[in-house]
Structure 1
Amino acid sequence: MGGEKSYFSLTLDTLRILAGWAADCAERALPLFERHAPTDLRPRAAIEGIRAFAGGERRTAQLRTLALAALAAAREVNDPAAAAAARAAGFAASSAYTHPLADVGQTKHILGPAAYAALAVELAGGGDAAIGEAEVRRAVECIPAEARAILLQMPARSPGKTRLDQLMVQLDAGIRSRFVPLGGYNYLTN
């Protein structure tokens, strides 16, 4: 019984909805990258590619190429906030490849764009955790029900050691609970 993989139903239409939300999340942080590397178009191209998929274009290998290019841009930029913004774009492009596998590793395809965007704005704001948490709340408030349903098919993330891990856990918990944590209080979202 242990080691068996559990799969669920996942349509391209649902992936397109997830992709649109992922692009929205990543795009919020994109100016942080472009401020430091104005001639490097790779993260923007990744977001444009995932938007095209969300809009009905085919899911092709080009999306993988765009995702990997944005992640390479993150490694090459010499600013932590800009690097996180580029990673948000890379993960947004990779959201089209979320597998219908009930595995915690797959949650990064869903949570990665929003978590990296939150980290980017937090780092750009001098490391103020409240800035990152506000971005997490915004992402939770905006997630479409279809994208939330994908996450609910997968195991919840466990706490980790890094700030990114913390943001992912907050995002995961907020999406799952339908509550948005605000300053120690929880408010029900619609």
Structure 2
Amino acid sequence: MKKQKEVFELRIESLRVLGEWAAACAERALPIYEELNQGDPRPRAAIDGIRIFARGGKRSAQLRVLALDAFRAAHAAKDPAASAAAQAASLAAASAYTHPLVDVQQTGHIVGPAAYAALAIEIDNQHDPLLGNAEVRRAIEQAPFEICEILLNMPARTAGKSRLDKMMYELDRGLRDKFPKMG
């Protein structure tokens, strides 16, 4: 018998705040993609789509299409930094569909846009970890209360082995520590 997943309350207003923050994080890496893939509007369209939702628009099927299109752009990109930048845009658009599950996998919908943007910036600058770490810190500093509130309903991430996993862990940990009285 399959164990039923535990859920928590997740308001649409919180998803809108998440979407705006995710878009701001992803947009910081977007020039990396656009410089190498001129004429491909898919990642920018995904960011524009999540911003429309974040500012009161509907969570439509079109937003899912935009997220998938940016995902496809990430996989088609030849450059790893450009791929990570497009993945950040894809995850930003998909953040509107974060599920209210008490599941560590769902944390990727929250920290993924910022982590992929930080990775893109790091790779684009000769894999300089100082720049990636600075981008992670900036994302944490810019995160509003609602982001941390959502995250605290989910299990904490572990560090993992890849650079991306480590960035996601640092984002998760930093966001949880930002408002320690909540937990």
TM-score, L = length of structure 1: 0.91
Q: Deviations over 1:141-176 (max 9, x none)?
A: 000101110001000011211110010001101111
Residue 47 (structure 1) aligns with: 47
Answering whether residue 155 of structure 2 is matched by residue 146 of structure 1, we say no
Q: Distance in 2 between matches of 1:57 and 1:4?
A: 32
Runs of 4+ in 1 over 4 A off after TM superposition: none
Q: Distance in 2 between matches of 1:109 and 1:61?
A: 18
Residue 110 (structure 2) aligns with: 110
| Counterpart residue type for residue 65 of structure 1 | V
Residue 101 (structure 1) aligns with: 101
Q: Note the aligned Cα RMSD (angstroms).
A: 1.1
Residue 187 (structure 1) aligns with: none
Residue 58 (structure 1) aligns with: 58
Q: Distance in 2 between matches of 1:71 and 1:100?
A: 22
1:1-190 equivalent positions in 2, closer than 5 A: 3-178=3-178
Q: Distance in 2 between matches of 1:76 and 1:137?
A: 29
| Counterpart residue type for residue 157 of structure 2 | R
Q: Distance in 1 between matches of 2:97 and 2:75?
A: 22
Shift of 1:28: 0.4
Higher strand share: 1
Shift of 1:77: 1.2
Decide whether the 8 Å contact of 2:64 with 2:93 is kept in 1: yes
Q: Distance in 2 between matches of 1:70 and 1:144?
A: 25
Shift of 1:4: 3.7
Partner secondary structure for residue 126 of structure 2: coil
Q: Distance in 2 between matches of 1:163 and 1:62?
A: 32
Unaligned runs of 5+ in 2: none
| Counterpart residue type for residue 37 of structure 2 | A
| Counterpart residue type for residue 176 of structure 2 | R
| Counterpart residue type for residue 102 of structure 1 | V
TM-score, L = length of structure 2: 0.95
Q: Distance in 2 between matches of 1:127 and 1:172?
A: 22
Unaligned runs of 5+ in 1: 180-190
Partner secondary structure for residue 43 of structure 1: helix
Q: Distance in 2 between matches of 1:148 and 1:62?
A: 27
Decide whether the 8 Å contact of 2:6 with 2:102 is kept in 1: yes
Q: Which moved more, 1:160-169 or 1:3-12?
A: 3-12
Q: Distance in 1 between matches of 2:90 and 2:35?
A: 17
Partner secondary structure for residue 28 of structure 2: helix
Q: Distance in 2 between matches of 1:75 and 1:125?
A: 21
Partner secondary structure for residue 154 of structure 2: coil
Decide whether the 8 Å contact of 2:148 with 2:178 is kept in 1: no
Identity over aligned pairs, percent: 58
Q: Deviations over 1:47-74 (max 9, x none)?
A: 0000000010000111111111001001
